[in-house]
Structure formats: structure tokens, C-alpha cells
């Protein structure tokens, strides 16, 4: 095993740890780890990311289910449009994206470059969400759960399209939506988000089964390490304030996003 491969499989544990610690964010590292450390093509990496993120999030959501910290009604309302969007994007849109996406006499934007740059922009948005101080939006809302149905459906479609295109779980969009639009407490929003991410990611992966040749031994090994990481992260989360970890992780994601943009466009 080469040093890059060793780093890649080690990073798979970190992906799970971050999901266990802060309920999200780790999935956004899966694509760059697969592409830059393990040499998987960007298009194939988006498919692998769906399976890895889905399986890991599903295991993580079980702990929240046991604690009765999952709101199944909110999950269903959010998930149905998200399921539809991610499946259709993976099945019909991604395979027909042209390569190059855009070209002139002096410049050509290839499909792989377009995917990585778009993903880097999503990373920057995610980092801003994690870094921003939300003391006044801690999720400890008062009153009964109230659903803003049209906005929840719209958010579900948006996150489904995002997941379908780049394989990111979208927790940085789902959790604020559940807190603000469904008035869920933060811990319940995290548990519900993990369940939504798991379901829509695995359903999205089904759209790739007929389009891609899957290296199952590699994929299952990477996923198993990520699942081991989420158990470790869940344990450590009992002793470390999640808000501090989320902000620190946000800065790390910010640096990674900037690096990807520089590598794809300048370096």
C-alpha cells in the first residue's frame, strides 16, 4: 500500500469520526479523499461517496433512534422530494453531462474539473455554515414542532440535486432547515438529518448501479473504516463540546475547498 493509499484509508476513519462528533460535515471530505488520495475518478467518486456517506449515516442514525431523537414526520416530508431529485439526477443527468462541459478556442472546462470546482464551492458554503456563530439559533426552540411544508419540500429538492451531482450528504443545509422550518431541537435535527442523508444517499447510489462498474471490495473496505470512525466519534462527542469542533472543522473544510479550486484551476 502506497503512502497516499494509507492516508486515504486513514482519512476514511476521520470521515466517520467527524459525522459522529458533529452530526455532519465529514461527508464533504469523501470526494476529495477518493480523488486526490486514492486516485478514483471524480465521476466514480461521486457514486462511491453516496454509498459511503449513506451507509455511515445510517449506522450513526441508529443511536439517535434509540434515544428517540429522530422526527420521522419531518424526515418523511423532507426526504420524499429529496429522494426523487437525487435518483433522477444520478440516473439521467450525470451520465449525459458533456465532456468538456464548456470549451472555447483558448479554454476547455472538462467534466472532471467542473465536478471538482463545483464541489469546492459547496465546501466553501459548508465551511461558512459551520464557522458562523449560531448562539441565538442553538435549536433549543420553544413550542410545538411546526412544519413550513412548501419550504421543506423546496429545500428537499435542492439538497437532493446537490447530493445527486457531487455526492455530498448536505447536512449543512438539512440541519438548519429542520431547525428553522420544522422547529426541531438541535439534537433531534442532527438525528433526523442523519436518517435523511442515509436514505437519500443510498437511493441515489441505486441510480449508479446500471451506469458504473463498482469495485465492491474497495468500496466496502473504505465504508467499514468510516463506520468504525462514527462509533469513535460518537463516543468522543460525550466529552467534547460539539460547537467548538464544528467551528474548527469548518476552517479545515474552508482550506480544503480553496486548495481544490487552486489545484484544478491554477496549479
Residue 230's pLDDT band, with cuts at 50, 70 and 90, is confident
* pLDDT at 117 > cutoff 90: no
* Lowest mean pLDDT across 92-96, 140-144, 193-197: 140-144
Residue 122's pLDDT band, with cuts at 50, 70 and 90, is confident
Q: Burial of 49 by CB count in 10 Å (0-12 exposed, 13-18 middle, 19+ buried)?
A: buried
* pLDDT at 227 > cutoff 90: yes
Residue 137's pLDDT band, with cuts at 50, 70 and 90, is very low
* pLDDT at 145 > cutoff 60: no
* pLDDT at 218 > cutoff 50: yes
* pLDDT at 109 > cutoff 50: yes
Distance CA 244, CA 234 (A): 15
* pLDDT at 162 > cutoff 50: yes
User: Looking at per-residue confidence, does 71 or 208 come out higher?
Assistant: 71
The C-alpha cell that represents 171 in the structure block: 447536512
- State mean pLDDT over 91-116: 80
* pLDDT at 168 > cutoff 70: no
Distance CA 228, CA 216 (A): 18
pLDDT-above-90 percentage for the chain: 10
* pLDDT at 220 > cutoff 90: yes
- State mean pLDDT over 33-56: 88
* pLDDT at 62 > cutoff 60: yes
* pLDDT at 136 > cutoff 50: no
* pLDDT at 27 > cutoff 70: no
Mean pLDDT over the full length of the chain: 80
Confidence (pLDDT) at 134 = 57
* pLDDT at 235 > cutoff 50: yes
Q: Burial of 258 by CB count in 10 Å (0-12 exposed, 13-18 middle, 19+ buried)?
A: middle
Amino acid at each position: 500500500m502506497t503512502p497516499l493509499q494509507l492516508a486515504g484509508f486513514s482519512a476514511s476513519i476521520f470521515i466517520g469520526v467527524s459525522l459522529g462528533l458533529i452530526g455532519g460535515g465529514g461527508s464533504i471530505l469523501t470526494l476529495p479523499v477518493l480523488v486526490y488520495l486514492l486516485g478514483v475518478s471524480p465521476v466514480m467518486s461521486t457514486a462511491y461517496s453516496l454509498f459511503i456517506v449513506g451507509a455511515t449515516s445510517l449506522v450513526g442514525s441508529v443511536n439517535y433512534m434509540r434515544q428517540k431523537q429522530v422526527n420521522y414526520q419531518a424526515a418523511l416530508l423532507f426526504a420524499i422530494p429529496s429522494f426523487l431529485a437525487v435518483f433522477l439526477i444520478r440516473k439521467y443527468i450525470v451520465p449525459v453531462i458533456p465532456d468538456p462541459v464548456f470549451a472555447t478556442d483558448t479554454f476547455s472546462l472538462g467534466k472532471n474539473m467542473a465536478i471538482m470546482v463545483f464541489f469546492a464551492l459547496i465546501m466553501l458554503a459548508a465551511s461558512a455554515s459551520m464557522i458562523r456563530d449560531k448562539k441565538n439559533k442553538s435549536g433549543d426552540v420553544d413550542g410545538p414542532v411546526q412544519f413550513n411544508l412548501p419550504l421543506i419540500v423546496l429545500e428537499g429538492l435542492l439538497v437532493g440535486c446537490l447530493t445527486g451531482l457531487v455526492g455530498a450528504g448536505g447536512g449543512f443545509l438539512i440541519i438548519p432547515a429542520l431547525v428553522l422550518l420544522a422547529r426541531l431541537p438541535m439534537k433531534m435535527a442532527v438525528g433526523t438529518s442523519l436518517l435523511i442523508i442515509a436514505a437519500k444517499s443510498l437511493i441515489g447510489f441505486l441510480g449508479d448501479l446500471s451506469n458504473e462498474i463498482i469495485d465492491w471490495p474497495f468500496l466496502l473496505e473504505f465504508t467499514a473504516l468510516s463506520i468504525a470512525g462514527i462509533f469513535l466519534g460518537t463516543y468522543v462527542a460525550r466529552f467534547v463540546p460539539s460547537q467548538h469542533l464544528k467551528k474548527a472543522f469548518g476552517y479545515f473544510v474552508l482550506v480544503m475547498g480553496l486548495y481544490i479550486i487552486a489545484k484544478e484551476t491554477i496549479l
